[in-house]
């Protein structure tokens, strides 16, 4: 039953992604491209100091990629760079390591099942790698 709920979350966010589009007043952006399957995301941010004031994404990809980007934008808005980095590491661990902590992931926990399909991990983490690069280099590309 729990896996059905997770599938519903992924399908809902994949079909109707939240924060899809471009943000006005972009201060940072990064594009991610998954050469294995063709997923592409462009993450645009408005930073206020070290806080993500606004975030949106554009792109095309599988349901997992789109759902992860959508969920990420909801989770990171209003957080500091350090807080996003901590969330990234928790999420990365959860999708790559059996038994890793899922504490604080909220709806992102729906994506933890991708660890059973190693070639789908990049789909789930593409937008996350893009935002990390955007923090380092205001205009970046991730492959």
Q: Is the pLDDT of residue 48 over 90?
A: yes
Nearest Cα to Cα of residue 64 among 121, 128, 105: 121
> Region 85-114: what's the mean pLDDT?
94
> Are the beta carbons of 127 and 68 closer than 8 angstroms?
yes
Mean pLDDT for the chain?
A: 93
Band (39; pLDDT cuts 50, 70, 90): very high
Give me the sheet containing 28-33, strands edge to edge.
51-60, 40-48, 28-33, 139-142
The whole-number pLDDT of residue 140 equals 64
**Residue bearing tokens 């209003």:** 78
pTM of the model: 0.93
Nearest Cα to Cα of residue 28 among 126, 125, 140, 128: 140
**Residue bearing tokens 């519903």:** 8
Q: Is the pLDDT of residue 2 over 70?
A: no
The whole-number pLDDT of residue 6 equals 80
The whole-number pLDDT of residue 1 equals 55
Give 2-138's CATH code, choosing from 3.30.230.70, 3.40.50.620, 3.90.1010.10, 3.40.50.1000: 3.90.1010.10
Nearest Cα to Cα of residue 27 among 8, 44, 39: 44
What percent of the chain stands above pLDDT 90? Answer: 87
28/23 Cα distance (integer angstroms): 10
* H/E segment holding residue 107: none
In the chain, where are the structural domains located? 2-138
The whole-number pLDDT of residue 58 equals 97
> Are the beta carbons of 57 and 77 closer than 8 angstroms?
no
> Are the beta carbons of 90 and 101 closer than 8 angstroms?
yes
**Rg (alpha carbons) of the chain, rounded to whole number:** 14
């Amino acid at each position: 039953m729990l896996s059905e709920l997770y599938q519903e979350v992924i399908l809902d966010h994949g079909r109707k992604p939240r924060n899809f589009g471009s943000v006005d007043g972009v201060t940072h952006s990064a594009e991610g491209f998954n050469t294995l399957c063709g997923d592409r995301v462009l993450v645009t941010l408005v930073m206020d100091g070290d806080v993500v004031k606004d975030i949106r994404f554009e792109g095309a990809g599988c349901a997992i990629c789109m759902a992860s980007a959508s969920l990420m934008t909801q989770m990171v808005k209003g957080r500091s760079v350090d807080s996003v980095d901590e969330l990234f590491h928790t999420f990365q661990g959860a999708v790559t390591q059996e038994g890793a902590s899922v504490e604080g992931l909220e709806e992102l926990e729906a994506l933890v099942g991708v660890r059973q399909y190693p070639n789908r991990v990049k789909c789930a983490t593409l937008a996350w790698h893009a935002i990390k690069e955007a923090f380092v280099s205001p205009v970046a590309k991730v492959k």
